[in-house]
Structure formats: C-alpha cells, structure tokens
C-alpha cells in the first residue's frame, strides 16, 4: 500500500526511474515517448544538460532567499528576458510556483487595481465555458467546468461564463470567421451590460484553450473584437497562457499571433519546462503604476515567489529555446504533426476534428462524424485511449467529461520542441495504432 495521496487512488501508476530526450523509462526499462510533454510542460524534453547545469550552479550559489529580504540575479534576468519579449507593455513580472498561483495572483491584482483607482465595485469576473484556469478556489471559480466547481460552492469569486470560441461545434454553416468573432464579442458585451460595466473587473480567457476541450485556437479577429469590447467598458483583459504560452504555439506568447496584448498574462508549465516548478504573472505598466502610486504594496504573496533555482531553470530553458531557434521547429513540426494525423486518421469514423497551433494539437473523438454526436460516456473513450497508448509506449494527455451539457472526448498532443521529423512520424504511428 502507498501512503501517497495520489490524485486518483484507484489508478496503479508505473514508477518513472529515468528520462532522456523525449522519453521516460519505467522500472522494467520500458520507454514511453512523452508526446504530451506531461501536460504541455516538458518543452525541452528530459535531461537537458544546459538546464541541469544551470540548476546545479544556482544550487551551489543560493538555492533560496526569501523575497522580502533578497532578490537574485537569475530572478532579475528572467524578468528582464520575459518583459523584453512580451507584447504590449507587460513590463512587470510576478513570479509564483505554478499556473493556479499565477491565475490567483492575476485575479487579486485586478481587484486591487480597481480598489486603488477608486472603482471598488468592479469585482465580477467573466470567463468562458470550456476553460480551465486551475484548481485553487479563485481559479476554480472562473473555470468553465461546472462539475469541478460543484463540490466547493459557494466560491469566493463572483464569476460568470460566456461561450468559448469553439469553431468546430459552434461556428454556423456559412458564417465567416469575422462574423463568428463578432457574435462572440457581442455576447461578451451583452454580459458586461447585464452586470453593469461598473461592476466588472476583467474578462479572463485562455488564448488557446487547452485542458478542457482538446485545444481550441480562436478564429481570426476574435481577440481583436474582444479587446475592443473590454476597452469600451474599462474591463481588464486577462489572458491565461499557462498552457499555450512560452513557445507552445510557435510564438513565445500565444497572443502575438492574434495581434493583441492583454493587461495581464499568466504563464507557467513551459516556463520552467518541468525542471523546476515556476509560474508568473506579467502586468501592464498601467496596473503596476496604480499599485505603486496607491498603497505601494500588492496584497498578495507566497513563500517561494522568485525561487532562485526555479528562476535559474526557467532562464536556462528560455535561453536554449532562443539559441537553438526552437520556435521555428515548433511551427514546422506542428504542421507536420497535423498533416500526418489527417493523413492517417482524417477519414476515421470516430475522429471528428484535428486542430491546433504549433506543437499544441488536439484530436476530438465523436460517435458520428456527420452529426458530431459525442461518444457514449460509459465507454470512457479518452481514458481507454490513454491506457492503450501507455501500452504502446506513448504518453498523450486525455480529456473528457461533460461541460455544461456538452460531452466530449479529446486528446492533447504537445510533444517537446526538440522533436525531429522522425520523432513526429513515430508519435503518429503509435497514436494511430492506439486509436
């Protein structure tokens, strides 16, 4: 018996004992291709020598120095690196330990900003169905999964939900991308007006939806229309790029592709690539300045913020990605991955949609391609696929469940940025065999 309180106590887990490149190995020496980067985390694969060297060096110098007494050079350098490359004026980087903490900090920063500028009634958040923002209570409140929230009601944050940009299911026949984007922006605007703009703090969205809906890239102009609506009503735009950011889509920040900058962005997963737990929130100068000129103190913090070895790992990861031009590889290998999946599975009767951006790829499974009807939940298709894939030496991230009545089985493929063309063909071969 194990004393570890595993997330799923009924599941028997293999022990991971070794890792190298794009593979993990169990105690029997069996290798598994990490085709999902865990959950879009391990973007440099495993055992990268430059990252390991950077972490070891930092451990020898200073592993931990509490942020109320000291900063460290790696913490400053990582913030400079991110702020210099972030869109807009997201110049202020707040380091935390993971994605939920980053989202939590973003929600509290938005609230405090409005208190500082004398608009304390702006405390409602609008987010989207088919979204995931984390498991802490604030992040959970804005997340789209009603079933995740249910056991914990009532939640502290006042959250409301509008439709996601889910072209495969919701874009009408004959409706252009622009018309669809406008329809969704109109829905957000109607929700803001219903609540009263003076009561709304922010609209929160994943730039490219990840964990809940098998990767949903927005249609062209969606975020431009959303940005306009937010600006018209003084509502902040918070983009959650915990999964889609840090190069996963082929751009360092996924929203670069959409041609807009948010007021706050959250990142995590790929930032430290799994070598250390780290996340961050980047805030615009307008928000930062309001805090500095107001109370002068952000009412939020954590013991491990700006952790030195975590910052050292993340800085090394980001420098390797830039030095080795890996974002170009993300774009090339991503194209290849989607094309190969379409070639092998495009006509499969249960494959409804293959979509994504860069190496952030989703496959949606259905009972019937023609009417997009969902598979029988009793089949637990996503879970069965994950189990079979592991038997085939392939790690892929399954997603399933019912979100506001829409049932779905999805699989996420998010291989490391270092994948070669041969690696992609092997992933597709094992995936096809599994399906």
Binding residues vs ligand PMP (CB under 6 A): 39, 98-100, 103, 132-134, 206, 210-211, 240, 242-243, 268
Name the minimum Å distance from CB 125 to ligand PMP.
Answer: 14
Nearer to ligand PMP, 125 or 423 (CB): 125
Instruction: Find the distance separating the first CA and the last CA of the chain, reported in whole Å.
Output: 33
Nearer to ligand PMP, 236 or 268 (CB): 268
Name the minimum Å distance from CB 198 to ligand PMP.
Answer: 28
Name the minimum Å distance from CB 180 to ligand PMP.
Answer: 22
Name the minimum Å distance from CB 145 to ligand PMP.
Answer: 12
Nearer to ligand PMP, 238 or 291 (CB): 238
Nearer to ligand PMP, 23 or 133 (CB): 133
Name the minimum Å distance from CB 266 to ligand PMP.
Answer: 7
- Kindly report each contact of residues 52-55 with a partner whose C-beta sits within 8 Å and lies 24 or more positions away, as own/partner: 52/275, 53/316, 54/312, 54/313, 54/315, 54/316, 55/275, 55/276, 55/309, 55/312, 55/313, 55/316
Nearer to ligand PMP, 36 or 434 (CB): 36
Q: Name the residue whose CB lies closest to ligand PMP.
A: 99
Nearer to ligand PMP, 206 or 263 (CB): 206
Cα(137)–Cα(103) distance, rounded to whole angstroms? 11
Nearer to ligand PMP, 134 or 164 (CB): 134
Name the minimum Å distance from CB 133 to ligand PMP.
Answer: 5
Nearer to ligand PMP, 98 or 398 (CB): 98
Name the minimum Å distance from CB 278 to ligand PMP.
Answer: 10
Nearer to ligand PMP, 101 or 189 (CB): 101
Name the minimum Å distance from CB 82 to ligand PMP.
Answer: 17
Name the minimum Å distance from CB 210 to ligand PMP.
Answer: 5
Nearer to ligand PMP, 240 or 263 (CB): 240
Name the minimum Å distance from CB 41 to ligand PMP.
Answer: 9
Cα(313)–Cα(277) distance, rounded to whole angstroms? 9
């Amino acid at each position: 018996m194990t004393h570890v309180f595993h997330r799923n106590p009924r599941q028997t887990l293999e022990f991971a004992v070794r890792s190298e490149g794009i593979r993990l190995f169990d105690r029997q020496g069996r290798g598994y291709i990490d085709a999902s980067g865990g959950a879009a985390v391990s973007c440099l694969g495993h055992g990268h020598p430059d990252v390991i060297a950077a972490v070891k060096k930092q451990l020898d110098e200073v592993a931990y120095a509490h942020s109320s007494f000291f900063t460290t050079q790696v913490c400053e350098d990582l913030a400079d690196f991110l702020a210099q490359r972030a869109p807009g004026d997201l110049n202020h980087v707040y380091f935390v330990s993971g994605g939920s903490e980053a989202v939590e900090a973003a929600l509290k920063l938005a609230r405090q900003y409005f208190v500082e500028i004398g608009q304390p009634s702006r405390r409602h958040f609008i987010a989207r169905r088919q979204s995931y923002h984390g498991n802490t209570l604030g992040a959970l409140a804005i997340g789209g999964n009603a079933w995740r929230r249910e056991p914990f009601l009532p939640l502290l944050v006042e959250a409301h939900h509008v439709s996601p940009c889910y072209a495969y299911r919701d874009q009408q026949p004959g409706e252009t991308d622009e018309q669809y984007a406008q329809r969704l922006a109109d829905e957000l605007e109607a929700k803001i007006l219903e609540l009263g703009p003076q009561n709304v703090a922010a609209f929160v969205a994943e730039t490219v939806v990840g964990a809940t809906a098998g990767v949903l890239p927005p249609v062209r102009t969606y975020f431009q229309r959303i940005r306009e609506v937010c600006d018209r009503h003084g509502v902040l735009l918070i983009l959650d790029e915990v999964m889609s950011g840090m190069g996963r889509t082929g751009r360092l920040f996924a929203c670069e592709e959409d041609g807009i900058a948010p007021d706050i962005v959250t990142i995590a997963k790929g930032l430290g690539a799994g070598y250390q737990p780290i996340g961050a929130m980047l805030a615009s100068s307008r928000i930062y300045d309001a805090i500095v000129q107001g109370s002068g103190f952000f009412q939020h913090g954590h013991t491990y913020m700006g952790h030195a070895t975590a910052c050292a790992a993340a800085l090394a990861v980001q420098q390797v990605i830039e030095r080795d031009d890996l974002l170009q590889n993300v774009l090339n290998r991503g194209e290849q991955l989607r094309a190969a999946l379409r070639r092998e599975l495009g006509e499969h009767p249960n494959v409804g949609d293959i979509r994504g951006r860069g190496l952030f790829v989703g496959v949606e499974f259905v009972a019937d391609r023609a009417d997009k009807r969902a598979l029988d939940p009793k089949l637990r298709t996503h879970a069965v696929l994950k189990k079979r894939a592991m038997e085939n030496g392939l790690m892929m991230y399954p997603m399933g469940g019912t979100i506001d009545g829409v049932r779905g089985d999805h699989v996420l493929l998010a291989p490391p940025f270092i994948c070669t063309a041969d690696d992609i063909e092997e992933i597709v071969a094992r995936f096809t065999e599994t399906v």
